[in-house]
Structure 1
């Protein structure tokens, strides 16, 4: 049976090579093509990383939400106007459902049909194949968590099944979250580090099962902490279980997607800024001014200077490129790895968990400081400068105002990870970000969700209407279910 899949990247296609040595093979137009699971996995990982990493105003606008970047020409996206020509929600929805989940779903179908080599014992083969499916499951969970946190109720039980459900229903976001936790528990129980998984195709951990177990528990921690204000019992249970299983505590465990220096597989910041020869972005004054006030040692990595100073523009306004700092050169190397998950993020979750009274083996201050250290270490900040920074009274952890402490420092650490920063902001309500130049649909505020794609309204209208009503209206100001404060 011929396989139908989303468009593969050139790097994925290069892994396929020739499937038949006959001179006339490529002339046989009725020949079905079987694409292995490995390039599908690579494609899904790259599409997911591209979506989370790109600064493209067509795909990812979270750096504007979080006052990381401002624009020089095109103001609409920085003012949160997503219903014009760019249709950001449509593009993000399509990228995640089609390019990521579509490839993962196709890979899941292929793995059970793979033929066992005769030299591999059946028990070993079964374990290896189970590990492969569990890794794919983890990437699906990650992707659905992003979709829920972006839109609220989304297609889930009927999603990625176009042969069965042409117009999928939208599932309740709380129900999806509960199922994602169950899937993570199942993945942790299945993954066996005594056996292999993908020999090729895994661009993040090269098939290392022990590393994927750490990702599974870290993702479980992440989902659990999002539930803290809406379901504290489940949140505490999930977080403590994740911690006990082993989470990402050091940078050596970070989830890095390896870009290379050749088109089209270089880092998306490089692609959109350097390779495209664009001067669309400048640093935003919100993050620049705070980091200046703290004498933050990450500034040379995050930003360029203007006459020796770090200067930011204003989100939602037209800003002069020459008068403001730009994205730092350290972020613009063509082969700079993409960061899907890191130890700084996880340590901030643990700091929050400890502050909430969960049993995670350490104090809130300890994890808070470790989170900052992991971030500074990523940028090769000297140990002496790390010590100086942590000793700054304005950086010191405040038990009485732990949400403010964690919220502000996570915001600084997540400079190149706008979506994750947006989650911290919505959950902790810090830092206090404003949006005075936002369009009326945002009511002068940083959006708390993305509106559903326009295409869903026109093509899947009945299900879209029901979902919109269920969440309280398809608006930028509607909050996702866990954002109750």
Structure 2
């Protein structure tokens, strides 16, 4: 990866230069710049895009650890904790910093550079690829926000810097989805391989417009299937359009941002935070807060999943990677029951002591939670599982079983993309598929097989797992009922807006509540129709 700190420094200098030039109408060089905008905007836009990709992948706990792990990951019974103040998701407890995080990151960080790029490139035919790639990335940014909260600012979002709109109106999710799908469709069609692109400033695809087109249609497949509960015919239309347009064909198409150990603009933020004080720091010798949940660990063990040592370990392996071969032994792994604290856990484990915590499994800090772990935005194996559902619904001519097995294989072949170059032999993959065959059955039985596999294979893409669970109901999870929880003992359907929106953007916040329903964890968003 290029030295991102140097690019950020260059961005600061170039951005300052262009702001000075734009602010001074009588500057003798202004007319020349106006006649040839690429002379100055090209390098600035490239740096803006690089920075935007990095900050969307991880700008702080706000768009990583909080929404992805402590909330979605714990609600989906992947993570569990006995600390009700640091890890709240498995207990459905409100902590404003956690629920506010993604909202603040999207509207305070992720959209800023993206909207600037869209504004600078929109009307320049030579920058058609810059513009349309930014449109695709805008959809990626916004779909996470609307899927977690429901109605959010969209059409006026991120325009404080460009248009002076500091209190944007909230838009209905139905309208947001219609526009996101339209944007993906138009952007994919308008990408032009004969025109310049971001090149090396594009850390996902190196400026390859063909790859971006594939990403756009794969995103369309993801969003099109979101509509199955609310508008089946519309869902079918968009799914078929996505498949016809061309979705991912191999792991080489994965939308990912590579990281390296280093400063905050280099490392994988989610992994870095899990290594820290609120996760499972090796210095705690197994007493860190964020353990793996019993539901998830039991499933890996019961199915003989060869991804288990890639995903999880006991703490000695995190402290010393030379111990991983023994610390990842499947028979020794234990998942922590969800929904308990250090006192109530004794109701099901009477002999529990503080030392017991060290006996429970943690995320593997040397593979999926390393500083150099790649940020995976959308994977080929995810696409294959979507195709399995599309085929099951009769929207694709393929075989659900074949797609399912290809999805499993693709997931198990992703290890070399991560630190440690973890590799699962083909024989182990074949054995897993033989031991856990796609058996067919009723529509719902097949949906359960497909989307339980989704839950397992999308590990650490936990916000997407949460969205997919709300749409499909799989995997089947037993809710917890911790005292004082926000839902009355049911798994949440969304997370609430930041209180700052109620106090600062009051009029628009109230309009959103009137439209969508109470600002509660149990209020269903538009596509999550009951």
The answer to whether TM tops 0.5 is: yes
**CA deviation map 1:2-39 (0-9, x unaligned):** xxxxxxx846414448669xxxxxxxxx9999881122
TM superposition shift of 1:431 = 1.2
Match of 1:443 among 477, 488, 493: 488
Q: Is the 8 A contact 1:68 1:287 kept in 2?
A: yes
Give the Cα separation in 2 of the matches to 1:189 and 1:112.
15
What residue in structure 2 maps to residue 323 of structure 1?
Answer: 359
* 1:320-469 aligned within 5 A: 320-328=356-364, 329-358=366-395, 360-379=396-415, 380-393=423-436, 396-400=439-443, 401-438=445-482, 439-469=484-514
What residue in structure 1 maps to residue 54 of structure 2?
Answer: 46
Over 3 Å counting, the alpha-carbon distance change for 1:249 and 1:11 in structure 2 is farther
TM-score w.r.t. structure 1 length? 0.87
Match of 1:310 among 333, 354, 372: 333
What residue in structure 1 maps to residue 201 of structure 2?
Answer: 201
Q: How many residue pairs get matched?
A: 455
Over 3 Å counting, the alpha-carbon distance change for 1:17 and 1:464 in structure 2 is closer
* Aligned CA-pair RMSD: 2.8
TM superposition shift of 1:105 = 0.7
What residue in structure 1 maps to residue 301 of structure 2?
Answer: 292
Q: Is the 8 A contact 2:404 2:450 kept in 1?
A: yes
**CA deviation map 1:134-157 (0-9, x unaligned):** 000001111111111111111112
**CA deviation map 1:316-346 (0-9, x unaligned):** 3347541111111311332121101101111
Give the Cα separation in 2 of the matches to 1:289 and 1:395.
20
What residue in structure 2 maps to residue 141 of structure 1?
Answer: 139
Give the Cα separation in 2 of the matches to 1:426 and 1:350.
19
TM superposition shift of 1:59 = 7.0
Give the Cα separation in 1 of the matches to 2:312 and 2:382.
21
**CA deviation map 1:336-375 (0-9, x unaligned):** 21101101111111111111121x2312222112111111
1:480 aligns with 2:528: no
What residue in structure 2 maps to residue 153 of structure 1?
Answer: 151
Moved more, 216-225 or 101-110: 101-110
Find the residue that maps to 2:291 and give its secondary structure.
Answer: strand
What residue in structure 1 maps to residue 75 of structure 2?
Answer: 65
What residue in structure 1 maps to residue 35 of structure 2?
Answer: none
Q: Is the 8 A contact 1:72 1:321 kept in 2?
A: no
Moved more, 9-18 or 318-327: 9-18
Give the Cα separation in 2 of the matches to 1:44 and 1:19.
16
Moved more, 102-111 or 68-77: 68-77
Over 3 Å counting, the alpha-carbon distance change for 1:370 and 1:135 in structure 2 is same
Give the Cα separation in 2 of the matches to 1:310 and 1:356.
37
Over 3 Å counting, the alpha-carbon distance change for 1:263 and 1:286 in structure 2 is same
Moved more, 238-247 or 157-166: 157-166
**CA deviation map 1:205-226 (0-9, x unaligned):** 1111000000010111111111
Over 3 Å counting, the alpha-carbon distance change for 1:88 and 1:11 in structure 2 is farther
TM superposition shift of 1:189 = 1.4
1:13 aligns with 2:8: yes
What residue in structure 2 maps to residue 100 of structure 1?
Answer: 110
Give the Cα separation in 2 of the matches to 1:254 and 1:51.
21
Please list every run of 5 or more consecutive structure 2 residues that lacks an aligned counterpart in the other structure: 16-22, 28-39, 282-287, 316-326, 343-355, 416-422
Please list every run of 5 or more consecutive structure 1 residues that lacks an aligned counterpart in the other structure: 1-8, 21-29, 114-124
Give the Cα separation in 2 of the matches to 1:63 and 1:477.
17
Q: Is the 8 A contact 2:87 2:290 kept in 1?
A: no
Find the residue that maps to 1:256 and give its secondary structure.
Answer: strand
Give the Cα separation in 2 of the matches to 1:57 and 1:17.
29
What residue in structure 1 maps to residue 353 of structure 2?
Answer: none
